[in-house]
Amino acid sequence: MLLRRVLEGERAGVITVTVLLVAAVLVPVGNLLVPDDSPVAVSTYAVTLLGKYLSFALLALALDLVWGYCGILSLGHGAFFALGGYAMGMHLMRQIGNRGVYGHAELPDFMVFLSWDTLPWYWWGFDAFPFTLLMVVVVPGMLAFIFGWLTFRSRVTGVYLSIITQALTYALMLAFFRNELGFGGNNGLTDFKDILGFSLQSDATRCALFAITAVTLAGAYALCRGIVRSRLGQVVLATRDAEDRVRFLGYRVDHFKLWIFTVSAMLAGVAGALYVPQVGIINPGEFQPLNSIEAAIWVAVGGRGTLHGAIVGAVSVNAIETWLTARIPEIWLFALGALFLLVTLLLPRGIVGLFGNRR
């Protein structure tokens, strides 16, 4: 039975990675090379929408790593997602240069509007793309490390930890709404022009961003799969199932939790960085606790503790949201709540668990 589960998990992993890599090739081809009147043509809107879905899938994957395999229900992962998005948004704002409304080469438009004279020190270096990529993972990782060190060493667990993570993202949302913080206030960062010299409005750039997102998601899935199957991952699983016993055996449980929580936050930051150039905006609304709660629903719908289930859940729920909000937008939140209740009561293992049971 154990061997069968392992084989099924490996098979699901191979299928997931293969589908993502194939999509990274076929979707751009369907957009750039296939004529628009062809039934297999992929519109630019669809490419952008799919890219956004995959960014959300990476966020769900990060949450499943820490919730499904370590038992930590974080309702603040939206904060790490937004921090990674802001890091990328700061770089894209620096690339605008004198093409903004006010034509200032050094300061973003909102700083000129607020009569700022100099660029804040925490904006330094974001004109360089390598530095930006470093900050995409370092900033969420540092926040997760500090937060996790304070909470895990105090043995805060369960619903209390979930509430604290939700308070964290709410506090960051209120902070980023303030104009004096230097991140665009309520409007956030937007009006991006290009990335690495390529126009963000061109079809080729959008297809490239989609392909990069798909490949990154495949790589992140392989990384998470390797982590949970490693010896260190086995200790994390044991911590989820019997934390006190693991502690009595001499393991520093708080260290293992801190490690997995920090890695998960870094992955969420990468998801945010991939999300921003595809949607063209990042604002404090991304910090709102509802976004983190939705991410937990994606994982629950797809199948917690499966990794590939998180990807399936994120893409499925967001596709339903797009379809439903285009027709009856006022009932989406009710439908989302009903979906979560149905999955909790009837499908505790999610969509992936349903198909596993049938097999």
| Largest distance between two CA atoms of the chain | 67
Band (9; pLDDT cuts 50, 70, 90): low
Residues 6+ apart with CB under 8 A from 225: 13, 307
Which regions of 275-332 does DSSP assign to beta strands (E)? Answer: 281-282
pLDDT digits (tens, 9 = 90+) for 76-120: 999 999 999 999 999 999 998 888 777 777 888 889 888 888 999
For the chain, what is the domain count? 1
Query: Domain containing 144: what range?
Result: 2-358
What is the spatial distance between Cα 26 and Cα 228, in angstroms, rounded to a whole number?
30
Helix (H, G, I), strand (E, B) or coil at 280: coil
Token digits of residue 169 = 């993202």
Residue 21 is predicted with a pLDDT of 87
Band (72; pLDDT cuts 50, 70, 90): very high
The DSSP code sequence of 182-240 is SS-TTT-EE---EETTEETTSHHHHHHHHHHHHHHHHHHHHHHHHHHHSHHHHHHHHHH
Band (157; pLDDT cuts 50, 70, 90): confident
- Reference 77, options 345, 336, 270, 243; nearest CA is 270
From 32-36, 210-214, 283-287, the region with the lowest mean pLDDT = 32-36
pLDDT digits (tens, 9 = 90+) for 180-209: 899 999 999 998 999 998 999 999 999 999
What is the spatial distance between Cα 29 and Cα 156, in angstroms, rounded to a whole number?
49
Token digits of residue 242 = 């019997």
State the average pLDDT over residues 45-59: 95
- Reference 162, options 30, 265, 296; nearest CA is 296
pLDDT digits (tens, 9 = 90+) for 244-270: 898 898 888 999 999 999 999 999 999
Res. 290: pLDDT tops 70 = yes
Band (3; pLDDT cuts 50, 70, 90): very low
Residue 266 is predicted with a pLDDT of 97
Provide the 8-state DSSP code for 47.
H
Provide the 8-state DSSP code for 76.
-
Residue 175 is predicted with a pLDDT of 93
From 98-107, 123-132, 216-225, 234-243, the region with the lowest mean pLDDT = 98-107
Q: Give this prediction's pTM.
A: 0.94
Residue 148 carries which side chain, given as an amino acid letter? G
What is the spatial distance between Cα 299 and Cα 287, in angstroms, rounded to a whole number?
19
Mean pLDDT of the chain: 89
Residue 8 is predicted with a pLDDT of 47
Residue 9 carries which side chain, given as an amino acid letter? G
What is the spatial distance between Cα 171 and Cα 168, in angstroms, rounded to a whole number?
5
Provide the 8-state DSSP code for 282.
E
The DSSP code sequence of 80-133 is HHHHHHHHHHHHHHHTTGGGSSS--SSS-HHHHHTT--S--GGGTTTTSHHHHH
pLDDT digits (tens, 9 = 90+) for 299-341: 999 989 999 999 999 999 999 999 988 888 888 888 888 888 8
Residue 261 is predicted with a pLDDT of 96
